[in-house]
Amino acid sequence: MSSRTVLANAIRALSMDAVQQANSGHPGAPMGMADIAEVLYNDFINHNPTNPSWANRDRFVMSNGHASMLPYSVLHLTGYDLPIEEIKNFRQLHSKTPGHPEYGYAPGVETTTGPLGQGVSNAVGMALAEKVMAAQFNRDGHDIVDHFTYVFLGDGCLMEGISHEVCSLAGTLNLGKLICYYDDNGISIDGDVVGWFADDTPKRFESYGWQVIPDVDGHDADAIKAATEAARADLNKPTLICCKTVIGKGAPNKGGGHDVHGAPLGADEIAATREAIGWNYPPFEIPDEVYAGWDAREIGAVAEASWNAKFEAYAEAYPTEAAEFTRRMTGDLPENWETAANDAIKNIAEQAISQATRASSKTALNAFGPLLPEFLGGSADLTPSNNTFFSGSKYINSAHGPEQDFSGNYLSYGVREFGMSAIMNGITLHGGLMPYGATFLMFSEYARNALRMAALMKIRSIFVYTHDSIGLGEDGPTHQAVEQIPTLRMIPNMNVWRACDAVESAVSWKSAIEAKDSPSCLIFSRQGLPHMERDEATLANISKGGYILKDTDGTPDVIVIATGSEVQLAMDAAEQSDKKVRVVSMPSTTEFDKQDAVYKESVLPSAVTARVAVEAAIMDGWYKYVGMNGAVVGMTSFGESAPAEELYEYFGITTKAVLAAIDDVVA
């Protein structure tokens, strides 16, 4: 038995033992891909286990995330701070080794995977970020950004439609430092995939513009190494290496079948596997010579030290660029950010702009964009409608200019809402860039799982949504978002903002930019909206998510809460009502909920139980703020096809309706 096989068998042993102890997990893919991992990590991947965040490390993504015991095993074996106790605690509460690799738990895990197809999508974002950062920072003789992104993926990733979205774009963008290993084992949970997945995968990827290396024996180290060398040699195309493997390789009775995919092998089969692969050690025991064969700490430290020397030379030649690179890779905002951003918001307030908030979003981008060279914007084929191309934007892949210019800061994603969102997550995870991407609010439905993953990972991706309600008008209910805003608010750790004018739009952008540990959804209108007057104190409170926009002398009879385009209705109703009305604009319920009890009580005093909420969306979530005895003016159904003004009248979302609700709750 070769020494390489012995090293690979350590992955097999740890994987089957951890799954067996947890009585839960997927041993088949880790055992089947162990030989590929051994070659990749011992011959190619540039990483330093003692510094998992080294800027120029290669990125590795386990897209078939159910095979999480493979990366956990490799991270443990190569010397990351992932002791054997964590391997033994696989899938247990508060362990660093949850059931799918999760970002922020085990050092060296680059992204959270599990929903199939999103890992490779994140990897496309990482490879794209590498190419953009290289174009922005590298100089002749100083290639400080120069690394590969490696991906393991399986049949499930390729069956999910998102893989088409992102791999098509990766080929178009010539992301040559993206290398994917396809675990072609012919098995999924239901059995042999030939019954439901008969695609000619090599031809599919060739049509995307990828380099495809077919029919590689995934258990032959020499073949894997040769394929990887060929992949690395072509920097003009991403590469798919099609590896023929046996799922559960080494298990004499269950290997090669679907029973080994997602269940423990069982004590008898584990004993038989140990004998079959010559692994004569107890569970979780790794001999010293195997640890020595895997240990990457010394070589990793040497690699990072070599890069550090390059960076020192770069910093001497280009001190401004070096400082900027360091700032951006740490995720810090520019030193002058707070002052400059606040000045920009005050300037927008002074201009008293009345316009659609999608246009106000562009106004904010024009103000903030010059301050943030890390911006990488984009749209899913709706740039003119989303207004996301600001004065400082420069296309990477415009059909109207240079074919490709990766020093740019704006990307046409094509009609790929889900792919765009998952790619953005990969860009964020790579570091050095702050992505924002836009589409119509309705199409957040296509992207929803990527939004959830951004929130789960606590990363700063900025999702921009326009055409936010029945105010979209004639396009009708297929495009009119009515349930999307409430459900976006339900995602834990997601900041959701729906602005009522240019000032709130700018504040929502500032909040998203500063939210380092959470993603944001910025929601803007198609129709024009009036400017709201505010004093300085009121302006300062917008960032708290909910604030008093209009008040009355003494204790109010009623509080009207509104967001977005419906704030105007609340203000008009307050002017016309014979009651003492306080108007609370609540552009972000998620941000308001974070405020302390004293502030929330000052805005929504518990003594005032007469409350009305108004929003052109499904109304259920507003009872949290108005109480079950309060009133909500909103939607209970899908929209219709008609001009926006007619729809607001037809669905009863009007000043008149707010006035009637005020009278009802006061009575």
Non-local CB neighbours of 74 within 8 Å, separated by 6+ positions? 11, 37, 41, 294
**Residue 156, marked binder:** yes
Q: Cα(314)–Cα(321) distance, rounded to whole angstroms? A: 9
Average pLDDT over residues 365-392: 97
12-21, 204-213, 216-225, 392-401: which has the minimum mean pLDDT?
Answer: 392-401
Query: Which residues are paired to 613 by β-bridges?
Result: 561, 632
Q: What is the CATH number of domain 336-529?
A: 3.40.50.970
Does the annotation count 417 as an active-site position?
yes
Query: Strand 558-562's sheet: what is its strand order?
Result: 547-550, 581-585, 558-562, 611-618, 631-635
Residue ranges per domain, the chain?
4-301, 336-529, 536-666
Catalytic annotation, pick one of 417, 504, 566, 615: 417
Please give the share of the chain, as a percent, with pLDDT higher than 90.
98
**Residue 358, marked binder:** yes
**Residue 467, marked binder:** yes
Backbone angles phi, psi at 271, to 5 degrees: -60, -40
Q: What is the CATH number of domain 536-666?
A: 3.40.50.920
Q: Which DSSP letter does residue 411 get? A: E
Class at the top of the CATH hierarchy for domain 4-301: alpha beta
In the numeric block, the tokens 């959270």 are attached to 112
Q: Could you count the other beta carbons within 10 Å of the beta carbon of residue 210? A: 24
Please give the mean pLDDT across all residues of the chain.
Answer: 97
**Residue 385, marked binder:** yes
Residue 243 and residue 225 in contact, taking contact as beta carbons nearer than 8 Å: no
At residue 628, the pLDDT reads: 86
At residue 422, the pLDDT reads: 98
In the numeric block, the tokens 């004993």 are attached to 271
Residue 309 and residue 35 in contact, taking contact as beta carbons nearer than 8 Å: no
Chain center to CA of 589: 21
**Residue 643, marked binder:** no
Helices (H), 547-594: 567-576, 589-592
Whether pLDDT at 1 is above 90? no
Q: Cα(513)–Cα(42) distance, rounded to whole angstroms? A: 39
**Residue 115, marked binder:** yes
Average pLDDT over residues 111-128: 98
Structure tokens at 574: 């307050």
> Please, is 271 exposed, middle or buried when counting C-beta atoms within 10 Å of its C-beta (0-12, 13-18, 19+)?
exposed
467-490 pLDDT tens trace: 999 999 999 999 999 999 999 999
Q: How far is CA 157 from CA 118, 262, 540, in A?
A: 8, 16, 46
Give the pLDDT band (50/70/90) at residue 330.
Answer: very high
611-660 pLDDT tens trace: 999 999 999 999 999 998 899 999 999 999 999 999 999 999 999 999 99
38-68 pLDDT tens trace: 999 999 999 999 999 999 999 999 999 999 9
**Residue 430, marked binder:** no
Structure tokens at 535: 């004093």
Non-local CB neighbours of 216 within 8 Å, separated by 6+ positions? 223, 224, 227, 241, 242, 243, 244
Are the folds of 4-301 and 336-529 the same? yes
Backbone angles phi, psi at 494, to 5 degrees: -105, 125
Q: Cα(211)–Cα(3) distance, rounded to whole angstroms? A: 31
At residue 398, the pLDDT reads: 77
pTM assigned to the model: 0.98
CA-based R_g, the chain, Å: 27
Whether pLDDT at 211 is above 70? yes
Whether pLDDT at 94 is above 70? yes
Structure tokens at 659: 């006035």
At residue 533, the pLDDT reads: 96
Residue (of 290, 221, 303, 298) closest to 77 by Cα position? 290
Q: Cα(147)–Cα(123) distance, rounded to whole angstroms? A: 13
Q: Could you tell me how many residues make up the chain?
A: 667
Of the chain, the end-to-end C-alpha distance in Å amounts to 86
Residue 480 and residue 525 in contact, taking contact as beta carbons nearer than 8 Å: no
Half-sphere exposure of residue 199, counting CA atoms within 13 Å on the CB side? 16
Residue 648 and residue 470 in contact, taking contact as beta carbons nearer than 8 Å: yes
**Residue 443, marked binder:** yes
Amino acid at 565: S
**DSSP letter for each residue of 453-489:** HHHHHT---EEEEES-SGGG-TT-TTT--SSHHHHHH
Give the pLDDT band (50/70/90) at residue 240.
Answer: very high
Whether pLDDT at 402 is above 80? no
